[in-house]
Amino acid sequence: MAFDYVMPKLAMAMNEGTINEWLVADGDRVEKGDALLVVETEKVAYDLEAPESGFVGILVEAGETVPVESRIAIISDSKDDLADVPAASVAPPDAKPEVQPAETPESSKTAGRSRIRSSPVARKLAKEGGLRLADVEGSGPRGRIVKRDVVEALTRKTAATAQPPATTPAQPAATGGLQELARLPLKGTPRAVIARRMQESLQQSAQLSSFWECDITELRKTQLMFAGKEEQLGTRVSVNAFIVKAMALAVADVPIANAAIVDDEIVIYKDVNVGVAISLPGKTEWDSSLMVPVVHNVQSMGVAQIDKAMKALTARAREGTLTADDMTGSTITLSSTAGLAPPGTRSTPVLNLPNAVLVGPSTPQEKLVPVDGEAVVRTMMPVSMTFDHRVLDGEPAARFINALHRYLENPVLILA
């Protein structure tokens, strides 16, 4: 009996996936739950397990991208059944096996090896970037060179050669004689994914942003009170945890804010799953990345639980250990620049499709504001909200803003 293993749909918006690595060889036997392969989507790479026990017949090679639900392997009770499995698809024409040449000063680093173990994607990226695989240190199984190794090597190469020697006069270039500080590889990098998703978001939705200021003086006092109970709560509760909870409460008042367009229908979700945008440092000062892991079922959580969940997601994102569950199922998004941007900064954040609403708080500042006819110093936080006008009109968007504003200015309602 043979089980068809297809490219799984790991995210609501996922249409295709790339096989980053097979963790078993063609014909190997696996047990149910064994690590089988690594699949890379536009957001993250996932380690996937064998759903059944048996012998694996690989149909699609590592490095290839295929649509969701395409058959990529079979798992059979009998190894004899694999004889009828079609040959695995071949690597791209320009990704030929690399044979170790006769030893030269240039190739002595890999002397004694007849072949450099590398994935098709790694070979293709190396060729496009003019990089010799012999100069790349592999981090994959048994030292295999994978895509991330080539991307890191290209980044280091670019950074090392970015600034011309001081004794070399600037040469006119196609850029009009401008000197360049650095060139960063884009194709095949996290930045390329971010660039494509941001462009697609703007092209595929009708985005509108609203801006307002929120008096968070009382919220800040409440947050500091919670922070003082760090030992009892097990976490130093952040302002963002209060904002996430306030978003869930505002959704209860205006459910259409917790929606998405799926297959030509507007789907309104019951659970409030907040995607939290996290900026990740790169290998150099220029190649930072962005991920949006998800805090699920916020409507059922307290602020301390939310804070712990957010910090756990941030830690896993920086360690590269996020799971498929961590990265899927968001229904609304938080993108906070508080503490990063100058006080009072306003921005127009781009939607995290298919979510119809994104809330973007920024850095608060103390200001004189009129209260009961007197000028009083209050802590004011700029907030923006980007929404998809295909899903929300101005009236429900305004009601959501009013609800969120009310909860943020009255933290006792968040804790009720």
From the number of C-beta atoms within 10 Å of its C-beta (0-12, 13-18, 19+), residue 341 rates as: middle
The highest-level CATH class for domain 93-163+184-188 is few secondary structures
Residues 91 and 17: their CA atoms lie apart, in Å, by 16
pLDDT score, position 352: 92
pLDDT score, position 265: 94
Domain locations in the chain? 2-84, 93-163+184-188, 207-415
385 pairs with which residues across the strands? 210, 359
- CA 11 and chain centroid, separation: 12
Provide φ and ψ at 20, rounded to 5°: -75, -50
pLDDT by position in tens, the chain (length 416): 778 899 988 766 677 888 888 988 888 899 988 888 888 776 566 778 888 899 998 888 887 888 888 899 999 888 877 765 554 443 333 333 333 333 333 333 333 334 577 765 677 678 777 888 888 888 765 577 877 788 788 877 766 665 554 444 445 455 567 888 878 777 666 677 778 888 889 998 999 999 999 999 999 999 999 988 999 999 999 999 999 999 999 999 999 999 999 988 999 999 999 999 998 876 666 777 788 999 999 999 999 999 999 999 999 888 878 887 888 899 999 999 888 888 888 889 999 999 999 999 999 999 999 988 999 999 999 999 999 999 999 999 999 999 999 999 999 999 98
pLDDT score, position 147: 72
pLDDT score, position 386: 96
- Tell which CATH architecture fits domain 2-84: Beta Barrel (2.40)
Q: What is the DSSP letter of 228?
A: T
Is 207-415 a domain of CATH 3.40.50.720? no
Q: What is the DSSP letter of 97?
A: P
pLDDT score, position 88: 43
Which stretches of 198-326 are assigned E, i.e. beta strand? 207-215, 259-262, 265-268, 274-276, 278-280, 289-291, 294-295
